[in-house]
C-alpha cells in the first residue's frame, strides 16, 4: 500500500467526526423546522391554498408592516375613512418597525416586499429553533430535548412564526437575550431585548422580564452593585421601544401616535379570567381550544419552573411566561389572543423539566391544534 492509498484512510475519521458534530448541532432544529413548514404547506393545500405563493402567508396586519416598509409611517384622523368613528385616529403607527425595516433592506436587493417578509419570518423561525437547540437543549440527543424542540416547532399559533408577522423575529431576539442573560452578558441581553422591543408591541414587557429576576434575587446589601446590571439588561431593552417612539416623532411629528391609534381597539385592564372563561363556553371553536390548551400548558410550565429551579434562568423564564400569558388576558379588547399566544414561545424551555410522558402528550396536542389553526389561517378566517 502506498502513501497515497493511506492518506484518505487517516483523514476519514476527522471528516466523519466533524459531520457528526454538525449533524448533532444543526440537524434536529433544521428537521423540526422543515417538518413544521411542510406540515403547513400540506395544510394549505388541503384547503385549496398554494403555500408556494408568498401572499398565502399574508393577512390583515401584514398590510400594515408592508405599508411601513414601502411608504413609512402614516397618521391621520379616522374621519377620512368611511365607517370609522371620526374621533379616532388611524394609520399604521400602531405597528412597530423592526420587520418593515428588514423588508425595506431586502427590497433594495430587488426582492418583492411580500416575498421578503415571508422569507425573513421563516428564517427567524429557523434560527430561533437553532438557538434553542444549540444554546439550551442539545447537542446530546434525549427524549426530553427532542420533545421540547418539537413543542417549540409546533408551539400554539406556530403558523404566525412562518407568516408575514414579526412573531418569529421577536422570538429570536428574546431567546437570544435569555441565552446572553444566562451567561451574565447583560449588555448583550439588553441589546437583543431592545431589538425585540423595536419589533413587536409586547416587546417592552421584556424589560421587566430581565429586570425583576435580578431585583428579586439580590440581597439589599448588594443592590447597589446590581443596578448597572439591571440597567444594562432592562434599561437597554426599554430603549428599543423608546427608539420606536422617536421614529414616530421624526416621521409623523407625534410620539404618542402609537397609543392614539391603539385606543380604538378597546384595550383596558380586566381580570384575566374574564377573558379566559368565555373560551370555555365555545370549545367547539379551534381558537378557544388553543387558548384553553395554552392555559394548561402555562400552568404545567410554571410547575416545571418550581421543580429544582436554576434560579436565574428559570426565574427569567417564569417571569416571561407570567407577563406574556397574563397581560394579553388582562388587556381584552380586540386583541387577537391566538396570535399573542404564539409570542409565548421562549417559555417552552421550561418544558425540558417536565416528565417525559407529560411532555409527549402536550407536544401531541400542540401539533393537532396547531395544524387546525393553520387551516383556519389559510382559509382567511384568522387575521
The answer to the question of residue 3 being in a domain is no
Residue 137, domain member (yes or no): yes
Report if residue 7 sits inside a domain: no
How does DSSP assign 172-207, residue by residue? HHHHHHHHHHHTT-HHHHHHHHHHHHTTSGGGGGHH
Determine the pLDDT at residue 5.
52
Full residue range of the structural domain in which residue 196 is found: 27-378
76 sits in which H/E element: strand 75-77
In a domain, 266, yes or no: yes
**Total number of domains in the chain:** 1
Q: Coil, helix or strand for 348? A: helix
Instruction: Confirm whether 87 is domain-assigned.
Output: yes
Residue-level pLDDT, tens digit, the chain, 383 residues: 444 454 555 555 777 777 777 887 899 999 999 999 999 999 999 999 999 999 999 998 899 999 999 999 999 999 988 888 889 999 999 999 999 999 999 999 999 999 999 999 999 999 999 999 999 998 888 999 999 999 999 999 999 999 999 999 999 999 999 999 999 999 999 999 999 999 999 999 999 999 998 888 777 777 777 788 888 999 999 999 999 999 999 999 999 999 999 988 878 788 888 888 888 888 889 999 999 999 999 999 999 998 866 778 899 999 999 999 999 998 876 778 899 999 999 999 999 999 999 999 999 999 999 999 999 999 999 98
To the nearest 10 degrees (0 to 180), the angle between helices 143-153 and 3-46 is 50
Output the pLDDT for position 1: 47
> Residue 309 contacts by C-beta under 8 Å, 6 or more apart in sequence?
315, 318
Q: What gap in Å lies between CA 164 and CA 118, rounded to an integer?
A: 5
The pTM score is: 0.92
- Cell numbers for 36, please give them: 413544521
pLDDT of residue 290: 96
Q: Is the distance from CB of 327 to CB of 209 less than 8 angstroms? A: no
Q: Is residue 12 part of a domain?
A: no
pLDDT of residue 21: 79
User: What is the per-residue pLDDT for 24?
Assistant: 78
Q: What is the model's pLDDT at position 227?
A: 85
Gap between the Cα atoms of 86 and 120, Å rounded: 36
Question: What's CA 251's distance to the chain center, in Å?
Answer: 27
Question: Per-residue b/e over 143-169, b at no fewer than 16 CB within 10 Å?
Answer: ebbbbbbbbbbbbbbbbbbbbbbbbbb
63-68 CB contacts, 8 Å cutoff, 24+ apart: 64/92, 64/94, 64/95, 65/95, 65/99, 65/100, 65/103, 65/117, 65/164, 65/165, 65/166, 66/100, 66/103, 66/113, 66/114, 66/117, 66/164, 67/92, 68/92, 68/95, 68/97, 68/100
Q: How many CA atoms lie within 13 A of 232 on its CB side?
A: 15
Q: 127 vs 130, 168, 303, CA distance in Å?
A: 5, 9, 28
Amino acid at each position: 500500500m502506498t502513501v497515497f492509498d493511506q492518506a484518505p484512510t487517516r483523514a476519514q475519521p476527522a471528516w466523519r467526526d466533524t459531520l457528526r458534530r454538525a449533524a448533532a448541532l444543526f440537524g434536529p432544529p433544521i428537521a423540526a423546522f422543515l417538518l413544521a413548514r411542510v406540515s403547513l404547506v400540506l395544510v394549505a393545500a388541503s384547503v385549496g391554498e398554494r403555500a408556494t405563493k408568498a401572499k398565502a402567508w399574508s393577512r390583515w396586519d401584514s398590510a400594515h408592516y408592508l405599508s411601513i416598509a414601502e411608504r413609512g409611517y402614516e397618521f391621520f384622523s379616522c374621519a377620512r375613512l368611511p365607517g370609522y368613528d371620526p374621533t379616532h385616529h388611524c394609520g399604521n403607527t400602531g405597528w412597530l418597525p423592526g420587520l418593515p425595516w428588514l423588508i425595506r433592506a431586502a427590497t433594495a436587493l430587488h426582492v418583492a416586499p411580500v416575498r421578503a417578509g415571508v422569507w425573513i419570518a421563516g428564517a427567524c423561525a429557523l434560527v430561533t429553533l437553532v438557538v434553542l437547540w444549540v444554546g439550551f437543549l442539545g447537542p446530546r440527543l434525549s427524549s426530553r430535548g427532542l420533545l421540547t424542540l418539537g413543542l417549540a416547532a409546533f408551539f400554539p399559533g406556530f403558523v404566525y412564526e412562518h407568516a408575514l408577522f414579526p412573531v418569529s423575529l421577536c422570538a429570536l431576539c428574546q431567546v437570544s437575550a435569555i441565552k446572553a442573560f444566562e451567561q451574565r452578558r447583560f449588555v448583550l441581553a439588553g441589546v437583543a431585548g431592545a431589538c425585540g422591543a423595536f419589533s413587536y408591541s409586547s416587546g417592552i414587557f421584556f424589560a421587566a422580564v430581565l429586570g425583576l429576576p435580578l431585583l428579586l434575587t439580590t440581597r439589599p446589601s448588594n443592590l447597589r452593585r446590581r443596578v448597572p446590571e439591571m440597567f444594562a439588561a432592562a434599561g437597554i431593552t426599554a430603549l428599543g421601544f423608546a427608539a420606536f417612539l422617536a421614529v414616530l416623532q421624526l416621521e409623523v411629528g407625534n410620539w404618542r401616535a402609537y397609543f392614539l391609534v391603539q385606543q380604538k381597539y378597546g384595550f383596558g385592564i380586566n381580570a384575566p379570567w374574564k377573558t379566559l372563561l368565555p373560551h370555555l363556553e365555545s370549545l367547539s371553536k379551534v381558537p378557544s381550544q388553543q387558548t384553553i390548551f395554552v392555559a394548561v400548558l402555562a400552568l404545567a410550565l410554571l410547575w416545571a419552573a418550581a421543580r429544582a429551579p436554576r434560579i436565574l434562568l428559570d426565574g427569567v423564564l417564569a417571569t416571561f411566561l407570567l407577563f406574556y400569558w397574563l397581560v394579553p388576558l388582562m388587556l381584552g379588547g380586540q386583541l387577537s389572543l391566538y396570535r399573542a399566544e404564539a409570542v409565548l414561545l421562549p417559555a417552552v424551555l421550561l418544558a425540558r423539566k417536565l416528565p417525559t410522558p407529560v411532555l409527549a402528550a402536550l407536544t401531541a396536542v400542540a401539533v393537532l391544534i396547531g395544524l387546525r389553526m393553520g387551516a383556519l389561517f389559510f382559509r382567511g378566517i384568522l387575521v
